[in-house]
Amino acid sequence: MNAVEIKNLSKNFGSKQAVCGLDMTVPMGAIYGFIGENGSGKSTTEKMICGLIPTSGGSIKLYGKDYTDEAVRSKIGVLIESPGCFPGLTVWDNMMIQAANLNIPDAEREVVKVLKTVRMEGAAGNKFKNCSLGMKQRVGIAMALLGNPTLLVLDEPLNGLDADGMRIMREVFLDVVSDGKRSIIVSSHLLGELQKVATHYGIIRHGKMICEMTADELDASCRTYVALKTGEMNRSKMLLGCKYSRVEEDEAGYIRVYDLITPEEIVSYLYENGICVTEIMTDKIGLEEYYIDLMKGGK
Amino acid sequence: MENAVKFEKVSFAVRVKSMLKVDLKRMFKSKFFYILIACALVVPILMTVMMTMMDGSVSVDPQTGVETVIEGPENAWQSIGTLPGAENAGGMDVMSMCNINMMFMAVAVFICLFISEDFRSGYAKTLFTVRSKKGDYVVSKTLVGFFCGALMLIAYFIGAMLGGAISGLSFDLGTLTAGNIVMCMLAKIFLMFVFVSIFVLISVAAKQKAWLALCGSLGGGMLLFMMVSMITPLGSTIINVVLCLIGGALFAIGLGAISNTVLKKTSLV
């Protein structure tokens, strides 16, 4: 059984098609990185999964049941765009309100537990409106974790978090899926962070799923490249560009050669042309570069 | 792994109880609720005292030269309704217009702001994700609005009595009995369901747009406002109470169903 199974999902806003014929599968125990450009339909899809906007077509199944099923829905934790908190109430009151909505029996203990998880136990008495952006985001995640949800839907949860906050979130995500039954759908533009935890990916563009893969499949798809520095960078780039199909200079000033070649081949080729290589290494492109390549149409 | 995840169904009573608990907690933590109750308590005191002081004074329209005699209250019950045989004899009887029935419109302010805050704060997103039954929300908001409205009516009643006592007005009921006053208040309280249902429907349709909800509610409420004094006179009997109860229930069920449909068919964010 999959945690989420979406078939042919569509959503129209007037004449504009925000999501068209989207298929998506999130296995149980997965951390599903949901990636796409701004306005590609990520948030709309997530809102439809959560039942916040009506669908125009297609089906959504959560744990094998229709997404409108009350019992399944009560086990979803959500953070979409902003935490749903009342600004005039304290963090504690907001958490207790959500605990009451979820009919959590030992609410106080549960609230203390999730606030500790996101390191916000010290700010429980603060009014929500007085919290910083990062703190608000942590509260939103704590709220999503209340009631031990089987599915977490998080839209840009890493926004505004500091380095420690991001580390905590990674730990929380891994902890949530550790039993293999619970799943997380997380959309983020911080692809480097996402790559550290995601087990599955879905890439959406113009409302259509263009690619779904596991982390292993992504790893296999990511090209290896050779990065190097020489004494004559411009001439090296020109020479390599003539011989190999894709040569680029990266932000750190290295020349990258993406063709399937060994460093030794490059060193000897440049040496033959009177250029001495000062640094050379091989590496793999990350999710971010893979995604950018995919968006450009290449792979 | 198959079917390893268990989901439990929660009964309607438990769902509504928990949501009502949340809404009541929010209401009692809201400054706005206390401001409205305080206004409901203070306004009749100020109005009764001021009108008593202005009793018999004449205002002249500078354009037409027509003189209007301002009539102060003769009886403490005038803030609640008109006593039989004490109809306005052509003077400017402010008390017959600005009385306890204003609370039916004032509760619109509370409901519109209360519901729009759910959508503005993003709370509705969190709530409707875990609560797919929109009817629970409508029931809870209607009950909380009714509760607030009933408290405002009671506060106004207390304020009117205090104002009457401070102004030294008569508490003579004439041909009426204390039972009629109790029935009148009960009829008004049950009639509150009619107004609350209208305000809840308009507010869930307007969502985060509080100004739209407020304008719509005040406009919608005005259509029924004039009949409040006819349905719930000071000399109300059990018939009035039953009529208001039935009317309130029918409106709450009918408009509640429409509110439920509005929430189901429209975007909640």
DSSP string spanning A225-289? Answer: EEEEEES-HHHHHHHHHHHSS-EEE-TTS-EEE-SS--HHHHHHHHHHTT--EEEEEEEE--HHH
**CA B195 to CA A287: how far, in whole Å?**
57
pLDDT at res. A180 = 86
Query: How far out from the chain centre does Cα B118 lie?
Result: 20
**Sign, Cα dihedral of B18, B21, B26, B32:** positive
Express the helix, strand and coil content of chain A in percent, nearest 5 each.
Answer: 40, 30, 30
pLDDT in tens, A177-186: 988 888 999 9
H or E element that contains B138: helix B134-167
* Cα(B184)–Cα(A235) distance, integer angstroms: 97
Q: According to the model, what pLDDT value does residue A158 have?
A: 86
CB pair distance less than 8 Å for B21 and A100: yes
Report the gap between the CA of B263 and the closest CA in chain A (Å).
10
Residues 6+ apart with CB under 8 A from B66: B60
Query: Is there a contact between B117 and A86 if contact means CB atoms under 8 Å apart?
Result: yes
Q: Does B11 touch chain A (CB under 8 A)?
A: no
Amino acid at B70: I
**Dihedral sign (CA A83, A85, A91, A94):** negative
Give strand ranges (E) for chain A. 2-13, 16-27, 31-36, 57-62, 65-66, 76-79, 151-155, 183-187, 200-205, 208-214, 224-230, 247-249, 255-257, 277-284
Q: What is the pLDDT of residues B83-109, one digit of tens each?
A: 766 555 444 556 666 789 999 999 999
Alpha carbons A12 and B89: distance in angstroms, whole number: 62
Question: Any chain A CB within 8 A of the CB of B17?
Answer: no
Q: For testing the chain A interface, which of B130, B260, B266 should be mutated: the one with the most A CBs within 10 Å? A: B130
The segments of chain A whose pLDDT lies below 70 read 297-299
Contact B7 A101 (CB under 8 A): no
Q: Is the pLDDT of residue B1 over 50?
A: no
0.90 surpassed by complex ipTM: no
Tell me how crowded residue A293 is: count the other CB atoms within 10 A of its CB.
16
Q: Which of A1, A42, A52, A111 to mutate to test the interface with B (most CBs of B within 10 A)?
A: A52
With beta carbons under 8 A apart, name residues in chain A contacting B19: 100-101
Contact B122 A87 (CB under 8 A): no
Query: Which CATH code is given to the segment(s) A2-219?
Result: 3.40.50.300
With CB atoms and an 8 Å threshold, state whether B125 touches A70: no
Going across the sheet that includes A57-62, the strands are A16-27, A2-13, A57-62, A65-66
Query: Contact B130/A101, CB-based, under 8 Å?
Result: yes
Residues of A with CB under 8 A from a CB of B: 1, 28, 47, 50-54, 63, 65, 68-76, 78, 80-89, 93, 96-98, 100-103, 143, 147, 150, 153, 180-181
| pLDDT above 90 as % of chain B | 60
Question: How confident is the model at residue A165, as a pLDDT?
Answer: 84
Determine whether B47 is exposed, middle or buried from the number of CB atoms within 10 Å of its CB (0-12, 13-18, 19+): buried
Task: Write the DSSP string, B1-63.
Answer: -TT-S------HHHHHHHHHHHHHHHHHH-HHHHHHHHHHHHHHHHHHHHHHHHTT-EEE-TT
Q: Give the predicted TM-score (pTM) of the model.
A: 0.84
Sketch the domain layout of chain A as residue ranges.
2-219, 222-295
Is residue B54 predicted with pLDDT exceeding 60?
A: yes
Cα–Cα distance, B4 to B8 (Å, whole number): 13
Give the side-chain half-sphere CA count within 13 A for A216. Answer: 1
Q: Name residues whose C-beta falls within 8 Å of residue B142's C-beta, 6 or more positions apart in sequence.
A: B193, B196, B197, B200, B252, B256
DSSP classification of residue A90: B
Separation CA A52–CA A33 (nearest Å) = 21
Output the pLDDT for position A299: 46
Class of domain A222-295 (CATH, top level):
alpha beta
Residue B235 near residue B176 (C-beta atoms within 8 A):
yes
Give percent above pLDDT 70 in chain B.
93
Nearest to B130 among A68, A74, A96 (CB): A74
Residue B83: strand, helix, or coil: coil
CA-to-CA distance for B8 and A105, rounded, in angstroms? 14
Question: How close A156 comes to chain B (CA, Å)?
Answer: 15
pLDDT bucket at B56, cuts 50 / 70 / 90: confident
Query: Which residue among A68, A73, A150 places its CB closest to the CB of B5?
Result: A150
Which residues contact residue A204 at a Cβ distance below 8 angstroms, ignoring those fewer than 6 apart?
Answer: A22, A34, A35, A36, A40, A41, A42, A45, A210
pLDDT tens by residue, B18-29: 899 999 999 998
Two structure tokens written together for A222: 């990511």
Compute CA distances A235 → A67, A230, A241, A252, whole Å. Answer: 60, 9, 10, 18
